[in-house]
Structure 1
Amino acid sequence: MNRFLLVVCFLFISATTFGQQFSQYNTGTLFDSFENPAQTNFIPDSSRYISFNFLVPNFGSNFFLTGHGQVPLKTRAFTGRYVNTNLTLDKGDFSRANVDANTYLLMLRIFKSLDGDQEMGFSVQTRAEGKGIFTDQTLLLLNGAGAFQDGVPYNDLNNSYRYQAYHQISFAYREKFSKQFSFGFKLSALLGIQYQRLNINSSYLQFDNAADNAYLGLQGNYRISYTPGKFSGHDLLPNFRNPGASISIGTRLQTRDNFVIQANIKDLGFIHWYNRSTESVFNDIQEVPAVSEPRLEDKLYKISHDIVRSADRQTGFTTPTNAKFELSANKSYWLDNEMQLKYSPTLIVQKELFYDGYTAALSNPIQYKNFTGTFVASYNNYKLLNAGLQFMVRSPNAEFFIGSDRLLQSASLAGAAGKSESQIAKAGSFSGADFFMGFSLKFGHVIEHPLNTSVIPIGDRPGLLRRMWNGIWGIDNGD
């Protein structure tokens, strides 16, 4: 089929598809330490002092799709035809799509000093993030004009989507100021890959059966950072054409009753898309001829494309990253006298800073020796309840984890390709998928306290952040 209307509706599902995995909170993995900057990845007197993923990608992806669009889009994807179950012409009926992706290609972290538990790290990752809303009327158009009445104006084709992908090269630093308080940050250079955004603010559609035509009107704005059809694999390589920057800041506080409180601002930044990008502010009505003939879909694509691109001009523009604020509380409980079985629940609240999304999650890991199983449940402002599982094997010097924060929906979608059309057409409250996996090892000498060391210590100075802090308050740095 042709692309434009389906892209409006289904872009996010077909995109390379992660966000912060809630089940990774307080695990102490290398991935956790880069996503939550105040978190440590090392255990003194047990861990070696260099942690590395050896270029094995630590990755994850997730998406969800809500509303009446679930059935037609899934049947189209898996069977090649639409089943218009539950779609209506009522104004205001819409579906919502959301996708996040994150792949760490390189993660390297070094334990620098026992004085302050100073750590620094470098990472290279690729991210994608997107959101979209599309109406039932738009989806009904994909299956022809049969559902639309002659001479009746329709004005609910007001779809919108935003998608951007970029590389992220980061330096991370973490320091423990006291036994109770740690602080960390991650500074990142961003290299934009592609950006696309469409907002249709008002629309008009009316069929005239006697004249065998229709009139389609759209008003809104469109931005794209590349030329469709000319984007190639070479454009995926890092370059400085679309520069940007971001910062993540994290704090970790351990209270007297052993609660661990973390507060994070994540990926607060921007990307400037170069001046050969395209922007269009459009407002036009055009005729769609011969609507009774086959392949109406192609004609609608052409007319929609012509309207949206009718006011193209080359210009640069700046867009924000999808920054988030997160607050979490954790406490650990030993479940046996031998202290081998531990339960460490974490409650997390997340709010997107530039959009309306917010989520509450409860991660429930149970650890036995080096093995951990985690059940995580989350609920967001779109009234979606998710449940997932993670399995992790972690020793002081090696770690591997795999899991999904939307386990049932992921299994359902994976099995949809082999099912009949009637089974695929059974829609729940939402469709979705989530999958993540990671691995890293530590090497080098073991981090040892002076009393346990097998080498002669030469002394450590306080870390940079603590020296600045001590200077503000007039405390001796021990130089």
Structure 2
Amino acid sequence: MRIWVFLSFLVFAHLVVKAQETSLIHSKTVFDSFENPVNTAFVPEVSNKYAVSFLLSSFSTQLRFKGDIEPSLKAFIFNRDSIKGGPLLGANKQNELTGNVNYYLAMFKLFKSIKYQREIGASIQFRNIGNALVPNSTFAFLDSYKNFNSPYADVFNSTALNQSFWQFGLTYRENYNEKLAFGAKLSFLSGATYHQIDIKESAIRLLTKGYEAYFNGSYQSNLGTDSVEIKNLLPNFKNPGMAITLGSSYAFKNGMYVTAHLKDLGFIRWNKNAVSSTFSDTLTPTKIDTLIPNGNIRTNLNRMIATGAHLGKFTSFLPAHLQIAASKEFGLYKPVFVATQYFDGRGTQLALVNNFRTGAFNFALNAQYDKPNGLQFGGLVMLQSLTTELYLGSEKLLPSYYFTKGMLNKDANIGRSPTQMNIFMGLNIKFGRKVQSDGMADFIDGLNDAETGFVYRLSNKERKAVRKEAAKNTKKANKRRN
């Protein structure tokens, strides 16, 4: 991804904050058992032995932007209109641009045994993590440098981070006793892309022909200033990392089920060819014309970064967080309370999920609160039978509805600030023989088996009987020949 594109509004399409599919916590889905490894994906005595999904395992995406640029960004998304940043210069406020993509390419789960309810799983997952703050003046410049009639400071002052990686996870859980259980997810990480920029000082001044722009800040990327290509997004061993999630659960006598997870404690070690650069320079772009209104500023930025760059390894970290959840069933109704504490400055998120089950269908309505987003409402519709899990939901129902309505009607004025859209879906299949105890089993291997075992056939007694039978057959054959 080129530095100029990274500075532009397109950053929102690649940036991520770790989203929680709150509606699926304590849902006994395969997804929940991978995100929260102490939670079970199987029900003893009735569940099949294997759970598997591929390509359609689980997918979630979230988009959020807040600031004066919202109407213009929505007009671009809905109608491909150009960004109109000039009118925003009067109040040079920051715009928050965030998003989320969390995709399980494949999941496999094995119900190992009823005793201790052991479950083993493996998964392949692709994730992004990031955040961005971009001022109105940057969008005004993207519109045209001519929006600045006089010298202007802090034009490009922005911070942005984009980190994407593959996660190959192994999970294990078991009951310690009838009440207490433990689970863990150990993941090997394969870093795909990393871009971070921090522009602390900047300014622009018009010249007789063109303009000059000042930049002071830092930049770090595993790709330098190169564009992101498909090959960069494929798994590799160039940027290894590790992550762990630990969980514990306790089942009370009154039916309450409580879980606690320390999640995403991990790092990625980016290779020796990663670029780190500090810069402080004034650029005077050329080749300014009607086709390229701002001239060759991209090329100049790339050169500036290359001048102050050095190659070397560095380490990035995942945003670890602590999550506690409690639930209890009341017939067809099951409420789930969830509290999540982030360690990266995002504070605390509180949520209440209301599950209503009828037959094989589960309907959930949830309310969640955190400081950046305020109070949000979400929902879920899920078909959950002994062999199939199919679900569709959103953690931000009303904003997602207005975003979709605006997109269908091509109307950027529909909806309120902040602009948000969230959707998640998944499909999992369970197959194989049911895992049951002997007293409940529909079928027990070897019971009433008419054949003898392989080991038994290798015993001396069995071998003698076989040789004796062979000798009789040989004697009969010789008599027929005579």
- The TM-score with structure 2 as length reference comes to 0.84
Cα 1:228–1:149 shift into 2, 3 Å: closer
Q: Which runs of 4+ in 1 moved over 6 A?
A: 290-294
Letter in 2 for 1:317: F
2:263 to 263, 266, 275: 266
CA contact (8 A) 1:223 1:279 kept: yes
**Alignment pair present for 1:451 and 2:452:** no
Larger Rg: 2
Paired residues for 1:172-187 under 5 Å: 172-187=171-186
Q: 1:148–1:425: structure 2 CA closer, same or farther, 3 Å change rule? A: farther
After superposition, residues 74-223 of structure 1 pair within 5 angstroms as 74-77=74-77, 78-84=79-85, 87-91=88-92, 93-150=93-150, 152-208=151-207, 211-223=208-220
Q: Deviations over 1:143-198 (max 9, x none)?
A: 22454342x44225211111111111111000111222211000000111111111
1:70 and 1:427 in contact (8 A); partners too: no
Q: Which residue of 1 aligns with 2:451?
A: none
Kept in 2, the 8 Å contact 1:71–1:84? The answer is no
SS of the residue corresponding to residue 410 of structure 1 reads helix
Contact 1:261–1:328 under 8 Å retained in 2: yes
Assess, with a 3 A threshold, how the Cα gap between structure 1 residues 168 and 182 changes in structure 2: closer, same or farther.
same
Query: 3-state SS of the aligned residue for 2:178?
Result: coil
Q: Deviations over 1:336-361 (max 9, x none)?
A: xxxxxx12121222233234354222
Amino acid at match of 1:159: S
> In the alignment, does 2:317 pair up with 1:327?
no
Paired residue for 1:406?
396
Measured in 2, the distance between the counterparts of 1:442 and 1:212 equals 68
Is the partner of 1:241 in helix, strand or coil?
coil
Q: Secondary structure at the match of 1:42?
A: coil
CA displacement at 1:30 relative to structure 2: 0.5
- AA in 1 matched with 2:51: S
1:229-263 superposed Cα distances (whole Å, 9 cap, x missing partner): 56433333322111111001111122333322221
Instruction: Check conservation: 2:240, 2:268, Cα contact below 8 A.
Output: yes
Deviation of residue 296 (structure 1)?
Answer: 3.3
The unaligned stretches of length 5 or more in structure 2 are 447-482
Q: Distance in 1 between matches of 2:276 and 2:225?
A: 14
Supply the distance in 2 between the matched residues of 1:380 and 1:187 (Cα, whole angstroms). 29
Q: 2:362 is matched with which residue: 354, 367, 372?
A: 372
Residues 402 and 415 in structure 2, CA contact (< 8 A), matched pair in contact too:
no
Q: Give the letter aligned to residue 258 of structure 2.
A: I
Give distance in 1, aligned partners of 2:58 and 2:413. Answer: 34
Structure 1, unmatched stretches of 5+, are 335-341, 459-479
The answer to whether structure 1 residue 311 and structure 2 residue 308 are counterparts is yes
How far the C-alpha of 1:205 sits from its partner, in A, is 2.5
Kept in 1: contact 2:65–2:97 (CA 8 A): yes
The 2-side partners of 1:16 and 1:130 are apart by 5
Change (3 A) 1:97 1:271: same
Question: Hey, what's the Cα distance between the residues in 1 that align with 2:55 and 2:135?
Answer: 42
Distance 1:101 1:54, change over 3 A: closer
Q: Distance in 2 between matches of 1:213 and 1:10?
A: 23
| TM-score, length-scaled by structure 1 | 0.85
Matched ranges for 1:326-475 at <5 A: 326-334=323-331, 342-420=332-410, 423-425=411-413, 428-455=416-443
- Mapped partners of 1:101, 1:322: distance in 2: 15
- The question of 1:287 aligning with 2:288 is answered no
SS of match in other structure, 1:268: strand
How far residue 35 of structure 1 moved from its aligned partner, in angstroms, is 0.5
The amino acid across from 2:156 in the alignment is L
Q: What letter is aligned with 1:196?
A: H
* Residues in 2 aligned to 1:236 and 1:292: alpha-carbon distance in whole angstroms: 35
- Counterparts of 2:295 and 2:32 in 1: how far apart (Å)? 47
Secondary structure of 2:28's counterpart equals: coil
Distance 1:416 1:9, change over 3 A: farther
Higher helix content, 1 or 2: 2
State the AA in 1 paired with 2:101: A
Cα separation, 2, equivalents of 1:132 and 1:357: 17
Paired amino acid for 2:203: Y
Q: 1:36 to 1:46 in 2, by over 3 A?
A: same
Give the Cα–Cα distance (whole angstroms) in 2 for the partners of residues 175 and 360 of structure 1.
28
Q: Secondary structure at the match of 1:116?
A: helix
CA contact (8 A) 1:357 1:381 kept: yes
- Counterpart in the other structure of 1:467: none
Q: Cα deviations across residues 287-341 of structure 1 (Å, max 9, x unaligned)?
A: 346979774334444444443443122212111122222122222222xxxxxxx
Change (3 A) 1:227 1:169: same
Sort the Cα spacing of 1:359 and 1:177 in 2 relative to 1 into closer, same or farther, 3 A.
Answer: same
Q: Which residue number in structure 2 is paired with residue 44 of structure 1?
A: 44
Aligned to 1:473: none
How many pairs align?
A: 444
Q: Identify the range of structure 1 (53-62 vs 13-22) with the bigger mean alpha-carbon deviation.
A: 13-22
Q: Assess if the C-alpha contact under 8 Å between 2:222 and 2:275 holds in 1.
A: yes
Residue in 2 that maps onto 1:474? none
Measured after TM superposition, the shift of residue 3 of structure 1 is 6.8
Specify whether residues 425 and 157 from structure 1 end up closer, same or farther in structure 2 by C-alpha distance, changes over 3 A only.
farther
Match of 1:239 among 230, 236, 239: 236
Evaluate the alpha carbon distance shift between residue 234 and residue 139 of structure 1 in structure 2; reply closer, same or farther with a 3 A threshold. closer
